[in-house]
Amino acid sequence: MSLIAVREKFALLSGRHDFVTDFAGGTYTLATGSLADWFINNGQKLLDRKASFAKAYSWYKKDVSAGDYKLNFRYCVAVKEVWAKTADEDRYELTKKPYSWIRHRYGETYSDIQQGDPGYYAPIVVSLSPDQIALTSADYTDEFTYDEEEILFSDTADHFLYTGILFMPPSDEDRTISIKGRFWSPPLSSDTDKSFWTEVHDDILVTASLYQLEKFYRNREGMRDYMSTILDDINDLDKDVVEEEAAKADQMEG
């Protein structure tokens, strides 16, 4: 199911046909400045926060070059695992270390560190404070000189969407870094956009969207009823993961 189909269900069940452009014609396109997609996207974020099952995890994979030592990527909630592989070596997992540990162990300018097989990683803060958010890589030296290696310079709204990892030592050859983590679902904006929730559990997404609407109506009873349904549905999804993990344990013990 695509966004426009979810939008139709949301408009029909909420009675808020003013949130779409052409409800009479049955197309349910989005009216300029309407709130339908805003409630749907916030409903999706609610489900992402509540869910803990396997589909909450995704892979971010990136080819890095010799000398690289960090990756920046968007929509990540938490990094769970990091793996590395070249064309002629076995895949191996990097060891997670506190950021401060890497800073102490590799205190030199990162580009001067002897390259090798990356063995350690740490999640890093890549953004600057509000006072410095407009800095770019061309003018950062007006503010600081020697500590720019982890920062993602950007003066756009995307600046807030990024997180990153620092891996050490810097890679000595081209290799693929694979990051398993919890990611937010992709924002829904175009009529044809899809996500895990629209495709597999559109009913839960519609319910979550209606919950967000009730929240802005300040209807506590409606919120409680919708949340109870949402938690029941998500609990069923979590049970599926528990069953899958139990099956893996049985196989290992056997």
Q: Which residue has the higher pLDDT, 31 or 228?
A: 228
pTM of this structure: 0.81
All residues at 6 or more sequence positions from 190 whose CB lies less than 8 Å from its CB, including other chains: 3
Task: Give me the helix-helix angle, 36-50 and 3-14, nearest 10°.
Answer: 100
Distance CA 29, CA 8 (A): 9
Mean pLDDT of 137-154: 78
pLDDT per residue over 74-128, tens digit each? 999 899 999 999 988 899 999 999 999 999 999 888 888 999 999 999 999 888 8
Task: Give me the helix-helix angle, 202-217 and 3-14, nearest 10°.
Answer: 50
Ramachandran assignment for 164, one of left (phi > 0), alpha (psi -120 to 50 degrees), beta (any other): beta
pLDDT per residue over 44-82, tens digit each? 999 998 887 666 789 999 999 999 999 999 999 899 999
Per-residue tokens: 250: 């049985």
| Short-list 188, 176, 193, 195, CA closest to 88 | 176
